[in-house]
Structure 1
Amino acid sequence: MDFTYKAYEKMVTLLRKNGYVFSKYKDNRMPNLKTVIMRHDVDMDLNKALRMAVFENQLGITSTYYVLISSDFYNAFSKNSVNIMKQIMNLGHDIGLHFDEQKYEREDDLLKCLDSEIDLLEKYIGKKIDSVSMHRPSKDTLDADWVIRNGSVVNSYSKEFFQEFKYVSDSRCNWREDIYKIIESGEFNRLHILTHPIWYSEKPRSMNETLKMFVSDAGIERYETLQDNIKDLDSELTLRQAHLLPTAMSQICDKIFDSNRLEFTPISLEDVKEIYEYGKDSNTCRYLGWGPYKNETEAENFAKYKIAADDMQWTIKENSLNKVIGAIRLYDVDKIQRCVSISYILNKQYCGKGYMTESLKALFTVAEKLGFEYVYTYYVEDNIASEKVMRNASMVKDVDYSEKIYIKGKMYREYRYYMRLGEGR
């Protein structure tokens, strides 16, 4: 089984097809029922846990997410982490305690330590903890078959769930048994499936690739925390200066690439005259938050700012004319959902020739290479031409999205289209 959401969905479909009922730990007191318990140990990344929780909700199933409050990778009790756990619970899932016995000295009373951790987690999430899973449990702990709080809290590694159920795990990004075959075999009435959200994404990734991405994202998370605590952080330290833009993203910002008729080049001061040409037109800038330019100096200041900023923006040059006819950019990076947005502008003299549709498709390829899974574009209700570009690029309208926005003092209704990259294209 691949470590993709599509493969995970296939597993869920097979479970349903083969008559399994999705249950939680305290539901399992009927041994004759064909049942499956889905469990997730959140060792490293709460954001990926939320991504999986949303996906499972879309599939119509619930499971239990075990939070490691002693993790060195996330602070379970930060405002953001507590908010994530509450979002997971609001999706119908349970939060459980992931208990690491190795953080305590052997002479400690581990059951008392576990009890204290349960109290602490309950305090922060505002809800009773019904079950506990062990983080890398020792043989002694497994053999002890702990009864927690007189049985009111389930031990997911008790003999009932670890031996009487068929237990299958994807530990270290490796299914040691073929989970599909186990489901289809009909041999087991009760399944206990452990997965780790960190391993799953839209496209197949090796353990090495996933861990490299995790390390890269950690630096960006630290930078975002600084932004929340230091006003105007960009004036002191940009992502690029901190060497935190992922290598691929840093390279693509400075890269020239092309399509059939067009060349996409990083913004240059040599382009100022042509940037001013399309940016001075009031109709072209009608639905934008800036412009029109009053003079070339404004266009030059814009170019200087974009050259200095952490911005993935390129001019669009028509090859046969050797002329800049517009610009296009990637922005609003969401590392949790692996999505990014695209905005664009085109000289009105070159509208209706398919240039912007061609540009969008070229940026889809760039976004996919950078590891994004979804691309979004936005337009306001009166901007029919922009919506047409999105349709021509085979994008899909997001029927659930509609927002009120103000542009130059006027209120508009904003809509958006999306493209699923990779297998979705």
Structure 2
Amino acid sequence: MKHWIETERIILRPITLEDARDMFEYAHDHEVCRYVTWDAHQSVEQTQAIIRDFFLPKESNEAWIPTFAVVLKDTHKMIGTCDTVAPITIDGNVEIGYSLNRTYWNHGYATESCKALCAYLFNEEGVRRIKIRHHVDNIGSRRVIEKCGFIKEGVERQLVKFEDGYADIAIYSMFKEELK
């Protein structure tokens, strides 16, 4: 199965080890990492190991959905990732997430990537329901999520531990007919 998604300005394609330098560029940025559950990367070598250990398939698996590299069409630069954070459940539920190089914030790339991934999951993978969540203080992610058409379900209080303590996490979901 082909795992490439193309929009007007970006291509979503499976991440590769060749993306390590571009990923490190944003993954070591503490502002990018402020509201995520992973620590800032310390070296390109660490980024390569993370790609190898967490993002590449371990064996031939047709049900595997890759972590997509968000790549600008005009420059071919990898500027982030957009992916499912867990396998699709037996009843068709999946959670997604994304991360983007701060240089490219506020240009619509996160929204474009997220919408494209959602359309792919609904239309190609037969997903029934998509969930996404964010740290309640992450206003940028909230805006992206709302622009994509997700509906807020609520807030799970003190759900995730960050450096400064436990944080409240807003939970959203979407069905195919709600995709904008």
Q: CA RMSD in A?
A: 1.7
Q: What residue identity is the alignment partner of 2:67?
A: Q
CA contact 1:256–1:266 (8 Å) conserved in 2: yes
Instruction: Work out whether residues 56 and 66 of structure 2, in 8 Å CA contact, stay in contact via their aligned partners in 1.
Output: no
- 4+ runs deviating over 6 angstroms: none
Distance in 1 between residues matched to 2:115 and 2:144, nearest whole Å? 10
User: If each structure's strand is expressed as a fraction of its own residues, which one has the higher value?
Assistant: 2
Query: How far apart, CA to CA, are the structure 1 residues paired with 2:16 and 2:167?
Result: 33
Rounded Cα–Cα distance in structure 1 between residues aligned with 2:174 and 2:76: 30
Aligned-partner SS, 1:287: coil
Q: Give the aligned partner of residue 303 of structure 1.
A: 51
Shift of 1:311: 5.5
Mapping of 1:129-278 within 5 angstroms?
Answer: 251=1, 255-278=3-26
Q: For 2:56, give the aligned amino acid.
A: I
Letter in 2 for 1:307: L
TM-score (norm: length of structure 1): 0.39
Partner of 2:32: 284
- Conservation of the 8 A alpha-carbon contact between 1:257 and 1:264: yes
Q: Any conservation in 2 of the 1:312–1:331 contact (CA below 8 Å)?
A: no
User: Mean alpha-carbon deviation: is it higher for 408-417 or for 359-368?
Assistant: 408-417
Q: Please state if 1:366 is matched with 2:112.
A: no
- Is 1:389 aligned to 2:138, yes or no? no
In structure 1, the partner of 2:61 is none
Q: Which amino acid aligns with 1:323?
A: K
Residue 413 of structure 1 corresponds to which residue in structure 2? 168
**Post-superposition shift, 1:272?**
0.9
Matched to 1:406, the amino acid is K
Q: Is the 8 A contact 1:289 1:408 kept in 2?
A: no
Aligned-pair CA distance for 1:343 = 0.6
Which residue does 2:75 correspond to in 1? 321
Kindly indicate whether residue 42 of structure 2 is the aligned counterpart of residue 294 of structure 1: yes
Change (3 A) 1:297 1:311: farther
Shift of 1:331: 2.7
- CA radius of gyration, larger in: 1
Given that 1:311 and 1:331 are in contact with CA atoms closer than 8 Å, whether structure 2 keeps it comes out as: no
- Structure 1 vs Structure 2: percent identity of aligned residues? 24
State the Cα deviation string for residues 49-91 of structure 1 (Å, max 9, x = none): xxxxxxxxxxxxxxxxxxxxxxxxxxxxxxxxxxxxxxxxxxx
CA distance in 2, matches of 1:334, 1:398: 20
Q: How many pairs are equivalent? A: 171
| Distance in 2 of aligned mates of 1:366 and 1:281 | 29
The residue that corresponds to 2:92 in the other structure is 338
Alignment of 1:78-93 (within 5 A): none
5+ residue gaps, structure 1: 1-250
Structure-1 separation of matches of 2:88 and 2:47 = 29
1:424–1:388 CA distance, 2 compared to 1 (3 A): closer
Cα distance in 2 for partners of 1:302, 1:336 equals 28
